[in-house]
Structures are given as structure tokens and as C-alpha cells.
Amino acid sequence: MDNAQRKLITLDEFTIQETRKFPQATGELSALLRDIGLACKMINKQVRKAGLVDILGKHGATNVQGEEQMKLDIYSNETLISVLKNSADCAGVASEENDNEVCFDDSFSAHSKYVVLFDPLDGSSNIDVNASIGTIFSIYRRVSPLGGPCTKEDFLQPGNKLMAAGYVIYGSSTMMVYATKLSVNGFTLEPSIGEFCLSHPNLKCPEKGKIYSINQGNSSKYDDNLLAYLKYCMEDNKAEGRPYSHRYIGSMVADMHRTLIKGGIFMYPADSSSPKGKLRLQYECNPMAFLMQAAGGLATTGTENILDIVPAELHQRVPIYIGSKQMVSKALEFVKEGAIVA
Ligand code: AHG
Ligand code: MN
Ligand code: MN
């Protein structure tokens, strides 16, 4: 049976085929994506049981097998760290849940050329209401010399140096979407064989959409320029397809997944109580900006392209406007520095 007759192409098969396009590639990036996929399948298994905790035992309690139950975000963090530590392709990790980077100190890891950053469970406040949550990941080639441990500099690279980035969404189905500079591809978890299978090849974000996404409850803290843009989104202008619909899940992965598939704009701006916004550059904004840009969209802080920011520290926050090219460009006309909106 050749590939044309095959219905399912697994994540692993796909990444290996992609690697074959580059004679110098060693296959380490494919292996790393497989490892991240494995950790996310383990997280998925726990996420799917989340509603049963009252029956099977609460987090922080001991379950029937005598094992300690962990909060899902801690479980997700520890699972990713342990799978990547066991892998031969990762020199170290940085996580939203850890204060500092974790550099693996075994001899295999010392020779690995990649480091991985992640938000192990994004949107975790949505677990209690059974809405979609996700894992966000980024892969950089390390800048420290091979043969020794990785260093903080490996994790403080701008988004334009990313090798790959993506997310796994634990939604009505479980999907991995990842981007390289070449393309963005989506894989749906086929539970009967436990594999992510290519379901959304070569994803492109529509140039224009009809949805704006922001926590509008914070409006009293927004500046006049942003308020003017929100007014524009709500304005009646049939010829231009407005008013736009408003959708906000409060789980960045879920809001971004909708924005990628349907088009739209997602915003987490600076406001008077959070002058740098809320979302973290290295764990949330950069991977999503890289993916969105590879899909033909745009991502900006309002003053600069997200991917051009050189991070000063691991947990830095930045404002973000991201999504369909035309919509983000329009938003920029309102919110960019110096834009005086009457
Ligand atoms: P996390 O669960 O990793 O802390 O991230 C939550 C983030 C993000 O997923 C979402 O877009 C945003 O917080 C929602 O914040 P608000 O509740 O302030 O709107
Ligand atoms: Mn998050
Ligand atoms: Mn998180």
C-alpha cells in the first residue's frame, strides 16, 4: 500500500517525510515533536478524566492505587519535563510553572542541540467548566556550545529564531498544531491507535475575519485608542462586514485555534493596571506569533513585531494583537504609538 492509498499519516511519519526534504537534517526535530506528542497524550489522558475527580479522588488526595493525585497543571509540567529529560534530543527546558530554566545534566542531553519552552496547561481556570484548554510549546536551537549544559541564553532568544512552535488543544477532539518556517499543519488524535494523524494540512489563517476576541470587561482600563478600535469592531457597516462578532473563551489556545481556522483578531492588550499586558512572551506570545505568521497572519505588541523582541527575562509579559493580517493591520492603525484617535 503506498501513501496515496493510505488514509492516515501519523505525526511521526509526517515529520520524517519533512526531514527528508533537507539532506543535512538529523531527524532530532522529528524526535522532539514525537516526544512532545507523547507527553501531551499523557496529559490528554488526565484531562479527559478531569470531571471524574470527585469519583476517582480529588487532586491533592490519594487515589485508590495509593498514588498522589496532582493538580493538572503540575501534572502536565512534570510530565513534559520527565519525557523531555528521558529523550535524547533535548538539552533543557523552561516552563511557565518553573522560576528558572531546567538544564539536563546527563551526557546525552549535553550533546542535544535543542531546548524546549512550554506553558504546560494553558487556560487552566477553564478545567472546572469543561471548556477547551491546551499545551503551548516552542523549540529553539541552543546557542551555547554542544558538549556542556545548556544556559539561560538558549532560552532568551527572540521568536524569529524559533525552529518550530505549536500547541495541543484538549477540545472536543485533541489536536496538535505545529509550525515550522515552511508551513503549519494540524494533527487530530485518533484515540483507537493513540496517534496524532494529519487532518489539517498546510493551514492558512484567512486574511480577514469577522470575530474580535478580547476581555472586554477590562474596558475601563483601556486607553482611548483601543476603545476607538473596539467601537470600530462594534460599528454597523454592512459593506465592510461589521459589526464583528465577539468571542472570548479565556483560554488562549482555544481562542487562537478559532482565530487560525476562521480568521479574526485576538487581543490581550496593556491596560492601566497591567502596563505590559498579561500573557508571557516566551511561553504564549512567541509560539503563537510564529505559528500565526507561518500561517500568513500577523502578531504585534502594538509597537513592534512580537517575533523581533529580544527577551530580557524568562517570564516577561507583552501586549499582543494577533490574527488575520488585514484585521491586525487595521487594529494597528488605531493603537500604534502616536495614533491620535479623535
Ligand atoms: P494560564 O492558564 O496558562 O495561566 O493562561 C491563562 C491566560 C490565557 O490562556 C488567556 O488568554 C488569558 O489568561 C485570560 O485572561 P483573562 O481572564 O484576564 O481574560
Ligand atoms: Mn497560559
Ligand atoms: Mn499555564
Q: What is the 3-state secondary structure (H, E, C) of 274-301?
A: CCCCCCEHHHHHHHHHHHHHHCCCEEEC
Verify that 46 and 178 share a domain, yes or no.
yes
Domain around 66: 11-200
**Entry pTM:** 0.95
Query: In angstroms, what is the span from residue 175 Cα to ligand 3's centroid?
Result: 18
Asked if pLDDT for residue 197 goes beyond 90, the answer is: yes
pLDDT at residue number 52: 78
Ligand lying nearest the CA atom of residue 284:
2
Please, which pLDDT band fits residue 26 given cuts at 50, 70 and 90? confident
Q: Are residues 23 and 136 in the same domain?
A: yes
Top mutation candidate among 125, 249, 256 for ligand 1, by most atoms within 8 Å of CB: 125
- What pLDDT is attached to residue 286? 98
220 located within any domain? yes
Task: Tell me: do 168 and 242 sit in the same domain.
Answer: no
Same domain, 162 and 234: no
Query: How many domains would you assign to the chain?
Result: 2
Residue 86's CATH number: 3.30.540.10
Do residues 268 and 303 share a domain? Answer: yes
CB 295 within 8 A of CB 325: no
Q: Of the ranges 42-46, 104-108, 241-245, 266-270, which one carries the lowest mean pLDDT score?
A: 104-108
Residue 206 maps to a domain: no
pLDDT of residue 29: 92
Does residue 161 share a domain with residue 137? yes
Shared-domain flag, residues 187 and 233? no
Residue 1 is predicted with a pLDDT of 60
- Closest CA to ligand 1's atom 18: 215
Q: Which residue has the cell 469577522?
A: 210
Report the CATH number that the domain containing residue 289 is assigned in CATH: 3.40.190.80
Q: Which helix (H) or strand (E) holds 31?
A: helix 28-47
Distance 125 CA to ligand 1 centre (A): 8
Q: What is the pLDDT of residue 256?
A: 98
Nearest-atom index, ligand 1, CA of 251 = 9
CA of 25 to the centre of ligand 1 (A): 36
Report whether pLDDT(55) > 60.
Answer: no
- Non-local (6+) Cβ contacts of 67 within 8 A are none
CA of 227 to the centre of ligand 1 (A): 21
